Amino acid sequence: DTAVSQTPKYLVTQMGNDKSIKCEQNLGHDTMYWYKQDSKKFLKIMFSYNNKELIINETVPNRFSPKSPDKAHLNLHINSLELGDSAVYFCASSDPAEGLNEQFFGPGTRLTVL
Amino acid sequence: GEDVEQSLFLSVREGDSSVINCTYTDSSSTYLYWYKQEPGAGLQLLTYIFSNMDMKQDQRLTVLLNKKDKHLSLRIADTQTGDSAIYFCAESDGGSQGNLIFGKGTKLSVKP
């Protein structure tokens, strides 16, 4: 049973296109995240949602729009893709309690913008 | 703001001990974490330590925390080729959700 799943695993697209990445978790967690990992493997948080509500929106262009239809899903829609958007995008989920925030990560979506 | 620093690379021979170091800035972080990322995969929690502890041992893993110097280390005893991965140190951002700030990751290469 996959705890946090993402689709697609690979996404290759042209500059200027619009694309979506889907994320689902079956852990019953209230909080979900999107991270971007660049080519040097540096990991940066983009968004955090708690119970379908946006909690964190780091300095991310507004071409990126997360959507949480329900607690188990957090999708990432990207408009007008640019070369610099090429990266691996990770979804994660957790149920923070008493300061402990063990996050469970999906396998990642490798986005390549040509 | 919060920042987590790690050296980027470490190379060891199979059977040796590996020590990965990390410094962090947020002294209010209740927990500190070590995550492991194998090639082509997502991050997995390896271990964590509560901030009022100095040391935590879990089989081949030993975590040392020096709160005064804001220094965290991960020691892997008898390192195996399967331990080759990127290791990320993380602290909490101090907010109510305990969101994580990750270091840049240390790539551990284990030579046979």
Please report residues of A whose CB lies closer than 8 A to that of B33.
Answer: 102
* Confidence (pLDDT) at A1: 66
Whether the pLDDT of residue A47 is over 80: the answer is yes
Q: What is the pLDDT of residue A91?
A: 97
Structure tokens at A83: 């070369």
**Per-residue pLDDT tens digits for A71-112:** 999 999 999 999 999 999 999 999 888 778 899 999 999 999
Compute the Cα dihedral for A12, B42, B16, B8 and give only its sign: positive
Selection from A22, A21, A20, A29 nearest residue A52 by Cα: A29
Q: Is there a contact between A78 and A63 (Cβ–Cβ < 8 Å)?
A: yes
CA angle B47/A24/A96 to nearest 5° reads 40
CA pair distance B66, B73, nearest whole angstrom:
9
Mean pLDDT of B17-32: 90
Residue located via tokens 């852990």 = A27
- For B98, which of A45, A90, A96 is closest by C-beta distance? A96
Q: Average pLDDT of chain B?
A: 92
Amino acid letter, residue A113 = V
What 8-state DSSP symbol labels residue A97?
B
| Predicted local distance difference test score (pLDDT) of residue B29 | 80
Q: What number is the average pLDDT over the span A25-40? A: 93
Nearest CA in chain B to A31: B97
Q: Is B32 on the interface with A (CB under 8 A)?
A: no
Q: Which two tokens stand for residue B61?
A: 């893993």
* pLDDT value of position B94: 67
Interchain contact B44–A (C-beta under 8 A):
yes
**Residue A89 touches partner B, C-beta closer than 8 Å:** no
Which chain A residues are within 8 Å of B7, Cβ to Cβ? none
Reported residue count of chain B is 112
Distance separating alpha carbons of residues B22 and A50, to the nearest angstrom: 29
For residue B96, the model assigns a pLDDT of 65
What is the overall mean pLDDT for chain A?
A: 92
Look at residue A20 in the predicted model and tell me its pLDDT: 97
User: Is the distance from CB of A32 to CB of A68 less than 8 angstroms?
Assistant: yes
d(CA A58, CA B97): 15
What local confidence, expressed as pLDDT, does residue B41 receive?
Answer: 92
Q: What's the alpha-carbon Rg for chain A, to the nearest Å?
A: 13
Amino acid at residue number B33:
Y
Stretch B69-78: mean pLDDT, rounded?
96
pLDDT at B18: 97
Who wins on pLDDT, B80 or A54?
B80
pLDDT at B30 over 90: no
Euclidean distance between CA atoms A106 and A114, whole angstroms: 24
Measure the N-to-C terminal CA separation of chain B; round to a whole number of Å: 41
pLDDT in tens, A58-81: 778 999 999 999 999 999 999 999
Taking contacts as CB-CB distances below 8 angstroms, the residues of chain A near B88 are 43
Percent of chain B at pLDDT exceeding 70: 94
* Residue A102 near chain B (CB below 8 Å): yes
User: Does the structure show a pLDDT above 70 at B1?
Assistant: no
Residues of B in contact with A90 (CB under 8 A): 42-43
What pLDDT, on the 0 to 100 scale, is given for residue B25?
87
Residue of A43, A48, A99 with shortest CB distance to B92? A99
Optimal mutation site among A38, A41, A59, interface B, most CBs of chain B within 10 A: A41
Judged by a CB distance cut-off of 8 A, whether residue A2 touches chain B is no
